[in-house]
Amino acid sequence: MSTFNIKDYGAKPISVSCEPATAAIQAALDACRDSGGGRVVVPAGMTFVTGSITLYGRTDLHFEPGSELRGSECREDYRPFHVGGEYASGDSAFLLEAHGAEGLSISGSGVIDGRGASFMEGYRSPEGPFIKRPKSWRPRMIGLYGCRRISIRDVTLRDAANWCLHMTGCDDVVVSGIRILNDLAIPNCDGIDPDHCTNVRISDCYIESGDDCIVVKATRHGAELGYSGSRDIVVSNCICVSTSAALKIGTESHGDFSNILFQNCVVRGSGRGLAIQLRDGGNVDNVMFANCAVETRLFHSLWWGSAEPIYVTALPRNSETRVGRVRHLRFSNILCRSENGIFVAGSPDSPIEDLVLDDVRVEIDAWSRWPGGRQDRRPILGGEHAGLSEAPTDGVYIENAAGVRLSGVDVAWGKNRRSHWGDDLRTRDVTGLTVR
């Protein structure tokens, strides 16, 4: 394999120069592409500042031990990423980007640092430092569009200012053994976002994120680019900590989701555990969550989520939405400790169909400083402040559903009893309910 060290193309580490090494890094990547492919090396023990760089197919961007690419703090060092109309503006710049690359990989034990704190200003919540306020502009970290045979292994992604690893319209993707260490107070810094992607395997990752850790999406922009939903995806052996949802499908659902499996994962200290949020016209079919340990807690109400360990909803986003369907779901062998119960809510025109909870235990208690006794349906018809309402905390709450089977479901109540605690099981407009 041909090797291209970025230092050989003029990249200077911060110990020598504080100027961005963007042009030199890009020159090494261009030379690798022009030679037919190979490995571009970020050398051991060195840190380089960079703006936007473009990655290519048949190229491995390899980080030697102790190496780091650190995002520039200056907007002028980032360039617009031109893939369709929405992404023709600087508001959507990425630190690392690729379009149509085949056989692209990012590997090694180094770090990519987005310097997210540089793009924040103060806090939104008057009660304390619970959610930061972004500045008027902030970059995303990694954006891959229409790529095939992608491998991302072992690297650490740190302090993203916005979405961290966003893959749109990609096929045959492996993400394995990476660490994502984001600020839990920065909103929208999702961990891994497969968006209109197929044949995806995500495994053995540790993720801390101020938004969803792993979220399967079908964005409107991806649909406009002609990509056809998200399917054939396996997430396994991951540990997730999130101020929002840990493992999720939605909320953006402008395409279908099918054949998706989350298994052998740990969710710790998160605002929501295992979640499906359908808000648009796409459909969700054949989804399984299995062998997971889930711990969820309450946060400030500015964060979506009310500590639901399992959350399934199909609700219209706005008055123009005809929401799709959610059906054929399995939750099996799940252990939950939480400050809220399981929440399932379809809509009259789109009930949740064929839902099975099998061997699921929910222990409800109270330990955070935030008040409970609320249902969180955001975002829904009614605007930004709609969807958060006072309600009892039930062990299992099911609304607008058909063909529901509860088998071996155990609800336990902790010692820190609260006045808003309700029933083990509460249903509303549910048909075909079987409880064993």
Chunked into runs of 10 residues, the chain (436 residues) has average pLDDT values of: 96 92 98 98 98 98 98 94 59 90 98 97 83 95 97 98 97 98 96 98 98 97 94 98 98 97 98 98 98 97 96 95 97 98 97 98 97 96 87 98 98 97 98 97
Which residue from 345, 329, 320, 332 is spatially nearest to 396, judged by alpha carbons?
345
pLDDT the model gives residue 38: 98
Q: Domain holding 209: CATH number?
A: 2.160.20.10
Beta strands 206-209 and 132-134 are unpaired
Which residue from 319, 321, 259 is spatially nearest to 284, judged by alpha carbons?
259
Task: Supply the pTM of this predicted model.
Answer: 0.97
How far is C-alpha 248 from the chain's CA centre? 7
Burial of residue 122 (CB within 10 Å: 0-12, 13-18, 19+) is: exposed
pLDDT the model gives residue 91: 59
Q: Is residue 36 part of a domain?
A: no
Q: Is residue 98 part of a domain?
A: yes
What is the Cα–Cα distance from 176 to 155, expressed in whole angstroms? 9
Beta bridge partners of 38: 59
Can you give the length of the chain in residues?
436
Number of H helices, E strands in the chain: 2, 36
Q: Which residue range forms the structural domain that includes residue 267?
A: 48-435
Q: Is residue 27 part of a domain?
A: no
- Tell me which amino acid residue 326 is: V
Beta strands 120-123 and 132-134 are antiparallel
Q: Is residue 414 part of a domain?
A: yes
Q: Is residue 206 part of a domain?
A: yes
Q: Is residue 17 part of a domain?
A: no
Q: Is residue 143 part of a domain?
A: yes
Q: Is residue 20 part of a domain?
A: no
Which residue from 329, 308, 310 is spatially nearest to 405, judged by alpha carbons?
329
The pair of structure tokens assigned to 209 is 């994120």
Q: Are 313 and 278 in contact (CB under 8 A)?
A: yes
3 state DSSP class of 269 = strand
The pair of structure tokens assigned to 431 is 């048909």
pLDDT the model gives residue 266: 99
What is the Cα–Cα distance from 225 to 245, expressed in whole angstroms? 27
Total structural domains in the chain? 1
pLDDT the model gives residue 61: 98
What is the Cα–Cα distance from 26 to 63, expressed in whole angstroms? 15
From its phi and psi, is residue 98 left (phi > 0), alpha (psi between -120 and 50) or beta?
beta
